[in-house]
Amino acid sequence: MNEEEEIYDEDLPEIIELVDDAGQIIKFRLLDITEYKGVQYALLMAAEPDDEFAEDEVIIFRYLGDEGVLEPIDDENLLEEVFAFYQRDGEEDDGEIN
């Protein structure tokens, strides 16, 4: 298995409901599950954009697949690395990068 590869779990729901600190339910659309440096990450977008989450904003969580848990990530550098990897890998799949 490559150190970095995309993964998609067909058992995951397309819409994921998360509860914020205020107890409000926020619905997200699952874009993809990707693996970066041996760790799985879930990339989500707001299913119902609002003042907190823009329509095109991508939210990234560490995905603990065995437990079915989405864990928040506080490290901004890691978030940028994962998103850059996701974009680069997607472009390679489309044949845009050789």
The residue behind tokens 């409000």 is: 24
- 20 or 96, higher pLDDT: 20
How far are the Cα atoms of 4, 22, 25, 82, 87 from residue 59, in angstroms, in the given order? 19, 18, 15, 11, 14
Instruction: State mean pLDDT over 18-47.
Output: 91
Q: Please, what is the Cα angle at 29 between 94 and 55, to 5 degrees?
A: 85
pLDDT tens digit sequence for 57-72: 999 999 998 888 999 9
Q: What's the whole-model pTM score?
A: 0.75
Residue 69 one-letter amino acid: V
Confidence of residue 52 (pLDDT cuts 50, 70, 90): confident
